[in-house]
Amino acid sequence: MRKFGLIGKKLGHSFSKKYFTEKFEREGITDAAYELYEIPQIENLPSLLEQEPELVGLNVTVPYKEQVLPFLDALDSAAASIGAVNTIKIREGQSIGYNTDYIGFKTTLEDFYPEQQREQALVLGTGGAAKAVWAALNALNIPFKRVSRNEAEGQLTYAQLGPEIVATHNLIINTTPLGMFPEVKEAPTLSFNSITSKHYVYDLVYNPEYTLLMQKCAERGANTINGLPMLHAQANAAWQVWNA
C-alpha cells in the first residue's frame, strides 16, 4: 500500500483527505491511501517519515511551506525559485520538494480574471502560499503589491490600504488563513467601500465556501472565487509529480 498525506499544524479545515479518497474510489486506485498528519512543529517531519516508511508523497500546508525546505534532500527548480514547497516526493529515502500551488493558482486565475480586465493586484499575506502567487502573477505579467502586517521595503501594511489603493487595484488575492474555519467571522482589513463590480477577489481559503471577505466584496458587486478550484488543480498536479 502506497501512503500519501498532508502535513500541517492544524488540519481540521482541510478537504485534502476527502478529495484524494474520493479520487482513489472513483478511479479504482486500490493500492493508495491518504492521511492527515498534524505535527506541532516542522522538526517532527523526520520522525514522521521514520514512523511511516510507506509514505511516498506528502502535501504541505500552513505554516510549513517555507519551514520545510531545510528538511528536504533536494528541490525542484521551480520550488527553489519560488522559495516554498507544498508537495514532497519520497523515493528511496530521498525527499524532493515541489510547488504545485503555483500551477493550481495560475491556471485557475487565468480562468477567473479575464485578460482584458487585468490591471494591478494586491496580494494579502507574505507566507509560502503568497510566494507561489507572486510567481504566477509575474508569469502572467500582472503587476502587484505585497501586503503584510509588518513594515518592510517594497510592501504595504494593512493600515496603508486606503480607498485609493483599493480602488486602483482591481484584483485582490488573500493568501492568509484569515476567515478559515473555525474562525469564520474574521476577514482581512480592507477599505470595502472602495470595492466595485470591476474588482476580482480571489480568496485562497476554501472552508468555509463563502468567506467573510468574499461576502463583503460581493455585496459591493465584486467577482469572487474561493480556493477550492486551486486545491483541486494543485492536488492533480501533485498526483502527477508523485507518479512520474
State the pLDDT confidence band at 151, using cuts at 50, 70 and 90: confident
What integer pLDDT is reported at residue 179 of this predicted model?
97
Residue 182 Cα to chain centre, angstroms: 18
> Where do the DSSP E strands lie in the chain?
2-8, 32-38, 55-60, 74-75, 87-91, 94-98, 121-124, 144-148, 155-157, 171-174, 200-203, 223-225
**Active site (annotated) includes residue 65:** yes
Tens of pLDDT, residues 79-112: 999 999 999 999 999 999 999 999 999 999 999 9
Peptide bond into 46 cis (omega under 30): no
Quote the cell numbers at residue 232.
483541486
Tell me the percentage of the chain whose pLDDT exceeds 70. Answer: 100
All structural domains of the chain: 2-99 (3.40.50.10860), 102-229 (3.40.50.720)
CB 14 within 8 A of CB 8: yes
User: For residues 223, 233, 82 and 9, what is the CA-based torsion angle, rounded to 10 degrees?
Assistant: 90
Tens of pLDDT, residues 187-196: 999 999 999 9
What integer pLDDT is reported at residue 230 of this predicted model?
98
Q: How far apart are CA 60 and CA 76, in angstroms?
A: 15
Q: How far apart are CA 20 and CA 143, in angstroms?
A: 35
The CA angle 88-79-98, to the nearest 5 degrees, is 20
Who contacts 182 (Cβ-Cβ below 8 Å, separation ≥6)? 12, 13
Single out the catalytic residue among 10, 18, 65, 216: 65
